[in-house]
Amino acid sequence: MHELAVTESIMGIVLRHAEAAGAKRVTAIHLTIGELTGLVDDSIQFYFDFIGKDTLAEGARLTFKRVPARARCHQCGNEFEPDTGKLWTCPACEAIGGDVVAGREFFVDSIEVE
């Protein structure tokens, strides 16, 4: 159900911008989603089609730009691509854990309107 709340917030943003721009129709929405958000493209599209009925955004195409996860090691500062879903281990010094540098982003990048 995570995706439903997310999709509702996307819809709010998109409709606000489309109305402000005096658009007749929203044709495409470009989203950026970090790998660590756990959001599933298909689910977002599914909810979008559902919530978007009878709005300016009905039938809009969604595109998803995925941002891979990146972590920075506490010990040595090395940046690495963590294996999501597992305990993160720094490949340089084998310390466990790290700060998230990328992969938690989620935003509407741009929208196309007519």
- Is position 89 an interface residue for Zn ion (rule: CB under 5 A)? no
C-alpha closest to that of 36 among 113, 111, 90, 106:
106
- Is position 93 an interface residue for Zn ion (rule: CB under 5 A)? yes
Q: Give the residue, chosen from 21, 40, 92, 96, that forms a contact with Zn ion under the rule CB under 5 A.
A: 92
Residue 96 three-state SS? strand
Cβ atoms of 51 and 11 closer than 8 Å: yes
Half-sphere exposure of 79 (CA within 13 A, CB side): 7
Among 42-50, 54-62, 69-77, 105-113, the segment contacting Zn ion (CB under 5 A): 69-77
- Is position 101 an interface residue for Zn ion (rule: CB under 5 A)? no
Binding site for Zn ion (CB under 5 A): 73, 75-76, 78, 90, 92-93, 95
